[in-house]
Amino acid sequence: MDKEKAISFDGVIKHIGWGRHQQLWVLYSILLGIITSIHILSSIFIAYPIPYVCESPMEEYVAKNCNQTIWNTSATFEQFKLETNSLDHCHMFNATVNSGSMNCTNWDILTIEKCTTHRFISDGSVSTSIVMNFNITCDRSWINYMLQSMFMVGVFFNGMIFGKLADMFGRRTILLLMGCSTMLLSFLTAAVRNLILYTIMRSVMGVFCLTL
C-alpha cells in the first residue's frame, strides 16, 4: 500500500468519531467486565462457611439420660479437641456400642468414627450456601476449590474460542452473545442443586465470561 493511501489507527478512530454509539458499547463492555469480576470473586459469598456440628445418633441418648448435649461433655471435648483448641466436628462416638450399659462418665468405652451427617447452624446472616447445599464439610472441603478451578478452566478456553469467533462474526455480535449467555447462566446456576451439574455450569459460565 502506498504511503499516501495508508491510514493509521489514530486516523481511523478520528474518522469514526466518538459518539453515543461508541459510548454505549464501551459502557456495555465495562459492565461485562464487572460481572466477570463478580463471578470470579463469588466463591467468597456462595461458599460462605456456615457453622456445622456432627449429627451423632448418640445425641438423643445423652440428652435423655445425661441431661446435656454430647458436645458439652468434658470427655467429648478432650477426645475431639484439635490443636486449635476447637471441637472436631468431623468425628463422632460409635453409636453401635450398647448405650444402655454406659453411664454419663464412661465415654472411654466408645470408639470414634468419621461423622457422616452434619447439622448446619445458621447465625441468621446467611440462610444457605453451596457448603450447605452440597455438604462441603470436613474431607469434602476440596470441592469448593475444585469448583473455583473449574470456573477458571472455562475462562482459559474463553479467549481461544471467542477470540476466533469474534474474528469470524465481529466483536459486537460476540459481546452480545457473551452478555446474554452470562446473564442466563447466572440464573440457571443459582437454581442447580446437583453437584455434578453445578460444576459443569460453573465451567460453562467461565467460558462465556468476558476476559479482560
Task: Walk along the chain (212 residues) and give the pLDDT tens digit of each residue.
Answer: 455 556 677 777 777 777 788 888 888 888 888 888 888 888 888 888 888 877 776 666 666 666 666 555 545 545 555 544 455 678 777 655 455 556 666 666 667 778 878 888 777 777 788 888 888 888 888 998 999 999 999 988 988 888 888 888 988 888 888 888 888 988 898 888 899 999 999 999 989 887 65
**Does the global pTM surpass 0.85?**
no
Phi, psi for 25 (deg, rounded to 5): -70, -35
Amino acid at 27: L
Segment 193-200 long-range contacts (CB within 8 Å, at least 24 positions apart) = 193/133, 195/134, 195/143, 198/130, 198/134, 198/147, 199/146, 199/147, 199/150
pLDDT at residue 115 in the model = 80
What is the distance between the alpha carbons of residues 53 and 115, in angstroms, rounded to a whole number? 9
Can you state the angle between helices 195-208 and 171-191, rounded to 10 degrees?
160
> What value, to the nearest 5°, has the Cα angle with vertex 49 and ends 183 and 112?
135
A 10 A CB-CB count for 39 gives 22
pLDDT at residue 203 in the model = 92
pLDDT at residue 13 in the model = 74
Q: Show the cell assigned to 39.
A: 463471578
Q: Show the cell assigned to 19.
A: 459518539
For the chain, give me the number of helices (H) and strands (E)?
9, 4
pLDDT at residue 43 in the model = 83
pLDDT at residue 201 in the model = 92
